[in-house]
Amino acid sequence: MSYFQRDRERHPPALTPAYKTSILRAPRHALLSLPTTLSEETGPVFGHDMIGPLDNDLIRNFAKDGGEAIGQRIVVSGRVLDEARRPVRGALVEFWQANAGGRYRHRKESYLAALDPNFGGCGRCITDDEGGYAFRTVKPGAYPWPNGVNDWRPAHIHFSVFGHAFAQRLVTQMYFEGDPMIWQCPIVRTIPDASAIEQLVALLDRRATIPMDALAYRFDIVLRGRRATMFENRPEGNG
Ligand SMILES: [Fe+2]
């Protein structure tokens, strides 16, 4: 098992004052590298048998009997790849998002957009032999958030990918091709490299659309190397 340092050329600095909460969260002292222990590297991660049949269907996995979430129906799919573009098999991919109106189902949510009684907003799946994952959902809405006076997040889906140990968890966000809200977002703008931002933008995937049913978006997640997806949380010393 290999652990990799964060690529500081590519990832945003911890302190980005235009993203207000980074001021409190950013370390104020020099970072320390802590050696990993055998238990972190070899301990159990998750059970592959815990995935339920609707876990990758956000349109139905929270819905009441016969109900479905309201919104633009989409399929999101892609592959998890390593730096040599080899598939990463058996990885737990989790995703969570606001509903079609931009509202999260969370007790601290403060946006006035309505909750959808049939939409929970999270799901998960395990990558197949080709590193592939896919899930069905509704396109999330943009939402305002308490940062500046009037800041809005672009439509986005949060992603987490687990590796072979709990210390290997990567978190990022996916955006949607053609959304003018992407480039004005204070969180997106913490990423200094425009090409890294573009790799977070899922492309409309006409071939994967389902006629009279769902649009489709394609989002590949590359763990390391020149084509690596920008991860928010790549922890010091872990890859
Ligand atoms: Fe969000």
pLDDT digits (tens, 9 = 90+) for 84-114: 889 999 999 999 999 999 999 999 998 999 9
Q: Do 102 and 115 touch, CB atoms closer than 8 A?
A: no
Contact predicate 232/171, CB 8 Å: yes
CATH code: domain of residue 81: 2.60.130.10
State the pLDDT at residue 239.
Answer: 42
Name, of 44-48, 132-136, 224-228, the range with top average pLDDT: 132-136
Does residue 20 lie within any of the structural domains? no
Which residues, including other chains, have CB under 8 Å from residue 93's CB and lie 6 or more apart?
80, 124, 125, 126, 127, 133, 159, 160, 161, 221
Q: Is residue 106 part of a domain?
A: yes
226 is catalytic: no
Phi then psi for residue 48, to 5 deg, are -70, -15
Q: How many angstroms from the chain centroid is the CA of residue 14?
A: 19
Asked if the structure places residue 159 within a domain, the reply is yes
**180 within some domain:** yes
Q: What is the pLDDT of residue 132?
A: 98
149 Cβ contact list (under 8 Å, min separation 6): none
pLDDT at 2 exceeding the cut of 70: no
First-to-last alpha carbon distance for the chain, in angstroms, is 10
List pLDDT tens digits, range 37-77: 887 777 777 766 789 999 999 999 999 999 999 999 999 99
Please state, for a pLDDT cut of 90, what percent of the chain lies above it: 70
Concatenate the DSSP letters of all residues of 18-31 into one string. TSTHHHHHS-SS--
In the predicted structure, residue 5 carries a pLDDT above the cut 60 = yes
pLDDT at 79 over 70: yes
* Over residues 28-38, mean pLDDT: 84
Q: What are phi and psi of 44, to 5 degrees?
A: -65, 150
In this prediction, residue 237 has a pLDDT band, given cuts at 50, 70 and 90, of very low
- Ligand 1 center–CA 53 separation, angstroms: 25
153 part of the active site: yes
Please say if 104 is a catalytic residue: yes
- Asked whether residue 231 is assigned to any structural domain, the reply reads no
Q: Could you tell me what percent of the chain has a pLDDT over 70? A: 93
- Is 11 catalytic? The answer is no
In a domain, 11, yes or no: no
Residue 225's pLDDT is: 63
**Domain-embedded: residue 102:** yes
Greater model confidence, 144 or 11: 144
217 is catalytic: no
Q: Is the per-residue pLDDT at 18 higher than 80? A: yes
Higher pLDDT, 224 or 189: 189
pLDDT at 238: 44
CA distance linking residue 91 with residue 22, whole number of Å: 29
pTM of the model: 0.90
Averaging pLDDT over each range in 22-36, 41-55, 223-237, which range is the top one? 22-36
Q: Which of 153, 169, 175, 217 is catalytic?
A: 153
Domain of residue 139 covers 59-222
Residue 149 lies in a domain: yes
When pLDDT is averaged across residues 204-230 and rounded to a whole number, the result is 90
Q: Considering its fold, how many domains does the chain have in total?
A: 1
Q: What pLDDT is attached to residue 154?
A: 98
- Cα(57) to ligand 1 centroid in Å equals 19
